Structure 1
Amino acid sequence: MKKTLVKALAVWMACAPFAARASDGRCDYKQDWLSSACERVMRVARDGTWDLYLTGYGWHIDGYDDPGSLNANSWGGGAGKHWTDMNGNQDILFAFAFLDSHKNIQPIGGYARQWYTKPVLGGLSLGGGYFAGFTARSDVAHYLPLPLALPIGSVRYRRASAMATFIPRIPGINKGDVAFFWGRYEF
């Protein structure tokens, strides 16, 4: 418990200057890409519309000794906000928690960018993009926040989306590939 608290405090201290600067609406960093990223996040936080997330399935594809012994029912949920640009693409902030492969709680949160096709058939569109953020697992550094960046894809019908990502095998971290699926409803 004490080590976990120290780790959490260290992460908070490292992120505090960025959070403080962004919280007062200033995104005037010396690097243009950092200012642009800050402005996107602030726009979603300030002007975005709320979302509801429900998680549901983790497919353990290959590399596992006994994939049947792992939890595929990744039940959980959370909330987020999105902002839609004039082309129908979205910037998304999200946070949710779910049951991982070993039935332990795994939180995740961050920023996502999705580009969508033009809607067809009364509102059906496909989306693709990426997300970057943090997660934490009990079996990897005992809940030390871990940065991640992964691709995402989605099928959206009006306000409801089925979304997915692919988590590749990383030696020393996980034993195989995983496809993770969740749903999102835009209010």
Structure 2
Amino acid sequence: MKRFYLSAALVALLLPPPLSHADEPQSGSTYSYIKDTLSQTWAADDYELFVPVSTWHNRHYYSSEKIDGYNEQPWGLGIGKYRYDRDGDWHSLYMMAFADSHNDMEPVAGYAFQKMWRPTDEFRLGAGYTAGLTLRKDFNYLPLPVLAPVASIEYKQLALQSAYIFGGRDNGNILFTWLRWQLK
């Protein structure tokens, strides 16, 4: 339960700032803000391609025997719509499917947000979160919530992006990494 509160606290710290001026929702409710943020992202004209590259199982939480039996090369593909807001922060709605740790297909869909820092015009660093749903064979493909921190290093249209999936002994504690290519 402590991990949930830690994740929730991290998300609260990284929530996007309130919309400003013309982007501001009609009412000040959280529901309106979320609806407007998702609607604006869905209406964006920019697309991005996701290519999973690594599923690293944290060696502190897994035995070497378990690690040897896991797939850490999550072949797959995804697509998303993205936008940058007035502050230059990244928002995305995405879908991705990849081979999970057991080599079974795992689809995931959700929303992601990153606060962006721009040391130069072409180089960016981002930190934020993703929230969505995934389906896993080992859970009979029942919808499972996803809430994870996300970070990226970006150059021009290409990003190396990762999410850390928290868990316990022999589950979760996975660093999932993918390439993100913004199509212009």
- Length-normalised TM-score, structure 1: 0.78
What is the percentage of aligned positions where both structures have the same residue? 30
Residues 43-74 of structure 1: per-residue CA shift (max 9 Å, x gap):
11112411111011100113223212200001
**Distance change >3 Å, CA 144–CA 29, structure 1 → 2:** farther
Question: Which amino acid counterpart does residue 96 of structure 2 have in structure 1?
Answer: F
Q: Quote how far apart the aligned CAs of 1:87 are.
A: 2.1
Q: Is the 8 Å Cα contact of residues 148 and 166 (structure 2) preserved in structure 1?
A: no
Give the corresponding residue for 2:174.
178
Q: Quote how far apart the aligned CAs of 1:91 are.
A: 1.1
Q: Which runs of 5+ in 1 are unaligned?
A: 1-27
After superposition, residues 34-183 of structure 1 pair within 5 angstroms as: 34-62=31-59, 63-65=61-63, 66=65, 67-120=67-120, 123-140=122-139, 142-170=140-168, 175-183=171-179
Give the Cα separation in 2 of the matches to 1:162 and 1:176: 21
**Distance change >3 Å, CA 130–CA 176, structure 1 → 2:** closer
RMSD of Structure 2 on Structure 1 (CA): 1.9
**Distance change >3 Å, CA 149–CA 31, structure 1 → 2:** farther
Q: Is the 8 Å Cα contact of residues 64 and 176 (structure 1) preserved in structure 2?
A: no
Moved over 6 A (4+): 28-31
Residues 57-109 of structure 1: per-residue CA shift (max 9 Å, x gap):
10011322321220000111110000111221111100000000000000001
In structure 1, the residue corresponding to 2:58 is in which secondary structure? strand
- Length-normalised TM-score, structure 2: 0.79
Residues 119-171 of structure 1: per-residue CA shift (max 9 Å, x gap):
42x5111100001000010012x100111110000000011100001111247
Aligned residues: 156
Question: Which amino acid counterpart does residue 87 of structure 2 have in structure 1?
Answer: N
